[in-house]
Each structure stands twice: as C-alpha cells, then as structure tokens.
Amino acid sequence: MNGYERIKAALSGVMPDRRPVMLHNFMPAVREAGYTMKAYRTSPEIAAECHIRYAEKYGLDGVLFDVDTAIEASAIGVPVDYPDNEPARTHEIFLPSLDEVDRLADVDISRHPRIQHSLEAVRLLKKHFGNELFVRGNCDQAPFSLACSMRGPENFMMDLFMNEERVIRLLKYTTGICRQFIRLMSATGADMLSNGDSPAGPSMISPEMYEKFAMPGEKELVDEAHRCGLPYLLHICGDTRLILPQMNRLGLDAVELDYKTPIENIYEVFGHTTTLFGTIDPSGVFALGTPAMVREESIKILDIYRDSPRLVIGAGCAVPPMAPEENIREIVKSVELYANKH
C-alpha cells in the first residue's frame, strides 16, 4: 500500500499493511528547506516545496498543510503580526464591543491573499503527489476560536458569561466565515479537511459551555465538509477527557488530540468508530526527546490500537522547528518494525 491508501484505509476502518504516519510539521519542514516563515506563508510554491521535500525525505504517508492560526482572522480584518521566522499571530482586539456584532460586514474571504496562498499550496501538493500521499487541507480556526481572536481571549471569556445572546450572534458570523473556507479548500483536491478549536477545550471553558457555544459551529463544519464529499477532522489541544463524549456526537471522521489526553481514554471513546491522528508529545518527545523516547511512545499507542485500524500515528499538535532528524526517522522506523513483528 502507498501512503494515500494507508490513510484512506485507516479512515474507512480497514487495517492497512502498516500504520500510516502523518506529522503536523510545517515549522521543521520550513527550517530544513532553508526558508523563513515569511517566505513560506507568502509563496505557495515555496510552501509546497517545503512539504514535498520533508515528506519524501522521511517517508511520510501524508502531508498536513497548515500555516498558522491567523488566516481567517486576517481575511476579515483582524490585525495580525507577521514575524519573519515565526508563525503569524493576532495582536489587537478587532471587535471592541459585542454591540458591534450586527454591523460586521459580509466578507468574501476567497479574495484574500492568505486564503489564496493556502488554496494554491494545497493544489500544488495534490498535483505533485496525486494519489501516492494523502493531503489534508487545514482550514485554520473553527468558529469558537475565530470569535476568540476577534474579541481577544480575556474579553471573550467574559462575554460567555455576560452576553450569551450576542456571543451566539458572533458565533453565527464566524461559522459563516469558516464554512466559506471549508468549501474553498474542498475545491483544491484535498483528500481531507480539518479545523482547530483549541480555546474550546476544558483548559479554557467547561464542558457545558463547550456544548452550548462551540459544538454547534463545529457540527456545521463537519456537515459542510461532508456535503463537499470529504472526511473531516477536528483538533483540540490539551486534556480533552471531559469533552470526549460530546465530541463523539459531532459525526467526526477523525480527531487530532495531543498527549495530555490519555490514549486509553481516547481509545475507549473513539477506538473503533473515529480515526485518531496523534498523539505523541511534539515538544517533550519529538523536539527535545530521544529516538528511544519516540519509539517507546509509538509502541504504547500501537499496542493500545492493536485491534483497531483507526489510527494515523504522529504528533498531537505542531512539531517545533528544532525537532531532530533522528527522531522523525524513528517514528517511521518504529511503525515498520511493529508491523513486521505483528
């Protein structure tokens, strides 16, 4: 089987010849290719080149195309910082008051250069890899996260308690923006779509607030991706144990969760129904650990998922740029050795 076939099998509940490997690796890919983050986020050709070189060098089964967490925000006018050698980030409050939510202008994000950059980079990746490697087009922030960027985290957390009605109206607006990106990305030829919604996790809000404010928008994105005929993945950072049952009601094809959520809990909820992408610690293991640590964590996950095909192993979040070559090679080696022994 090739990489595309392995990940398609994992998403379909069919056991592949060996477990597929996909990494959230845009930062080390940029560094190894010798480019700056500025060059990566402004040139789709450079962005595609970085991922192609990295995937082919290490024998990965798929490519996750991502840039930063400020693409949609920039497309609707949120002020964004663009460091030369770091991912872009929002830095000012765009919506000073929820009183202004009904005056937000409809925006056609397809015209924005950063949206066009992401779409073209994914088209180039699919043109290069065809059906040899699996390409996941990440569509930036989910509605709850985008609203948080617009109001600023501190303000938005207070909004949830103080002005529920207008928060819901803001979330309706951000859901519309996110659905646009889903539809645009689906037209690139991407094999799968995804969003991140990390501020919606239990480290920021309660499970009850997650269900009231974040889940409705997440569900709309799942349904939009499915209307486009593509599988959909949701990423939430941190320890998500408290909301796993609720996430399981979204109709997701896959989840990307990090090491803070115990793998045993993930398997209990999703093990035979929803494909897991992850969940090795990107910093403590991939970037700062040793090959032995990568191997140990890989085997732990592989053992727990021994009887389920629904696994694409890798990091549970973005791998830092300094991740050493030997650690990346070790995860591919570990899954190959595990397949030969079992």
Tell me the DSSP string of 40-90. HHH-HHHHHHHHHHHHHHHT-SEEEE---S-HHHHHTT--EE--TTS--EE
- State how far the Cα of 14 lies from the Cα of 74, in Å rounded to an integer: 40
The pLDDT of residue 155 is above 90: yes
Q: What is the pLDDT of residue 91?
A: 85
Identity at 135, one-letter amino acid code: V
- State how far the Cα of 183 lies from the Cα of 262, in Å rounded to an integer: 33
Non-local CB neighbours of 209 within 8 Å, separated by 6+ positions: 160
Non-local CB neighbours of 212 within 8 Å, separated by 6+ positions: none
Q: What is the pLDDT of residue 89?
A: 95
User: What integer is the mean pLDDT of 142-146?
Assistant: 98
Residue pair 196/221 in contact (Cβ under 8 Å)? The answer is no
The pLDDT of residue 235 is above 90: yes
Give the confidence band of 338 by pLDDT, cuts at 50, 70, 90. Answer: very high
Give the confidence band of 342 by pLDDT, cuts at 50, 70, 90. Answer: confident
User: Dihedral sign, CA of 104, 110, 112, 115?
Assistant: positive
Span 290-320, pLDDT tens digits: 999 999 999 999 999 999 999 999 999 999 9
Backbone torsions φ then ψ of 26, nearest 5 degrees: -65, -35
Mean pLDDT of the chain: 97
Q: What angle do CA 51, 84, 137 make, to 5 degrees?
A: 30
The pLDDT of residue 21 is above 90: yes
**Over pLDDT 70: what percentage of the chain?**
100
Span 128-137, pLDDT tens digits: 999 999 999 9
Span 254-298, pLDDT tens digits: 999 999 999 999 999 999 999 999 999 999 999 999 999 999 999
- Give this prediction's pTM: 0.97
- State how far the Cα of 209 lies from the Cα of 199, in Å rounded to an integer: 11
Q: What is the pLDDT of residue 113?
A: 98
